[in-house]
Structures are given as C-alpha cells and as structure tokens.
Amino acid sequence: MRSIILRSCDGADHVVAQEAACLSKTVQSLLEELEESTLVVPLPNVCDCTLRKVLQYCTQHTALQRRVTDISDELRTREMEAWDKRYIMVSTDELYHLVMAAHYLNVPGLLELCCEGIANLIRGKSPEHVRQCFGLVKNFEAPEEENIRRTNLWALVDEKEQAKK
C-alpha cells in the first residue's frame, strides 16, 4: 500500500496511507495534478493539530470500510456511528477548526459529522445560551429586536415554561 506525506501549514509531516488520504477530495485532486513520483502534499490551510485529527478520522473510516468480510453492514454502520460520536466530542474551538479543515480538504463525511456536532450545540438551547456557547454578541437595535420578537415569539414559549419549572 502506497503512503504519502501530508504537510501542515506549520511544517509538520504526517505519513498516511494514500487510500485514507484520498477520503479528502482535495488531496485526491492534488495527487492527480502533481507528478506521480510526488510523495509530499502541502496543505497550507490546515495546522498540525487539526490535520492529525482529520487523519485520525480518515484512517479509522478507511479501516472500517475495508472490514467487509468479517462483519455485517449493519454492525459496521453501528461501529462507525459509535466511533464518530466519541470522535466529535471536542471543544467548540476544536470543532470550529475541524469543520474548516473538513471543508477545505473536502471530506464529505467529516464535514457532515462536524455540522451535526455544531447543530447539537445549538439544538434546544435558548438564544442567550447559544451566544455564550459560541461567543456571539447581540447586535440588534431595539426596533429590530422587537420586530424579531413579534415574529418569533412562539419559539420562546417553551423556554419561558421551562424557566417557570
């Protein structure tokens, strides 16, 4: 099996099986464009730490996909889902870097997983809680906020009830 080297923006090299690296469509395209003898692929938009995490995903998913003979599809899917669930339990900051890398490297499965992870941080939360979680600032002017409140008041009902309880 051929191995290649992926070089992060801070110059760290990661040796990885080409099969796993090619879960990234960006890497796959770069390999097609570069000369066949090239073994080092520079990735100027991904830092060492994030690249390591991305490659962990690619390696694990390639390994699980290759286990075609010894486990059923259903079991493999369950295993992957359980692994993904553990994998995506990272800090908000890390999740942000991971989603940016997944987008740049074009790893569809990882991108979807990251989006789901971010969506889970938002789901069921109050606007204030979301602002705190993502470090956002409320930048409405009073009439603008009043207009939003009038339109979306129903969405806050449950939150009020929960507060009462």
Partner 1 sequence: MNFADILPEDVTAMIFDRLPFDDRARGCFVNRTWNRLNRDQILGPALELHPKQVVNRSFLDWARGRLRNVQELELLPFKSNSTDIVTQRCFSSSLCELLQQTQHLQRLRVPPAQSLDAALLSRLPQSLCEVSISITFDDSCLLDSDFDVGTLVPFSFPRYMPHLQTLELQVTCVNVRSYGLVCAPSCLPPSLRTLSLSTKSRGRRVGPSLMLPCPSQLPNLRDLRLEATCFICQDRGTSMSAFLTSMQHLRGVRLRSNAKAVNYGKMLEELSHVPICKWEPL
124: contact with partner 1 by CB under 8 A = yes
Of 1 and 137, nearer to partner 1 (C-beta) is 137
CA distances (Å), origin 79, targets 24, 35, 66, 67, 75:
21, 37, 13, 11, 6
Closest distance between partner 1 and the C-beta of residue 157, in Å? 7
32: contact with partner 1 by CB under 8 A = no
Applying CB under 8 A, which of residues 134, 146, 160, 162 lies at the interface with partner 1? Answer: 134
Rounded to whole angstroms, the Cα distance separating 40 from 162 reads: 55
126: contact with partner 1 by CB under 8 A = yes
132: contact with partner 1 by CB under 8 A = no
Applying CB under 8 A, which of residues 130, 146, 160, 162 lies at the interface with partner 1? Answer: 130
Rounded to whole angstroms, the Cα distance separating 147 from 121 reads: 26
Of 18 and 106, nearer to partner 1 (C-beta) is 106
116: contact with partner 1 by CB under 8 A = yes
Applying CB under 8 A, which of residues 151, 163, 164, 165 lies at the interface with partner 1? Answer: 151
To the nearest 10 degrees (0 to 180), the angle between helices 92-105 and 48-66 is: 70
138: contact with partner 1 by CB under 8 A = yes
Residue 57: is it exposed, middle or buried by C-beta count within 10 angstroms (0-12/13-18/19+)? buried
Q: Which tokens is 82 given?
A: 């359980």
152: contact with partner 1 by CB under 8 A = yes
157: contact with partner 1 by CB under 8 A = yes
Q: Which residues bind partner 1 (CB under 8 A)?
A: 93, 96, 99-100, 103, 111-112, 115-116, 118-119, 122-127, 130-131, 134-140, 144-145, 148-149, 151-159
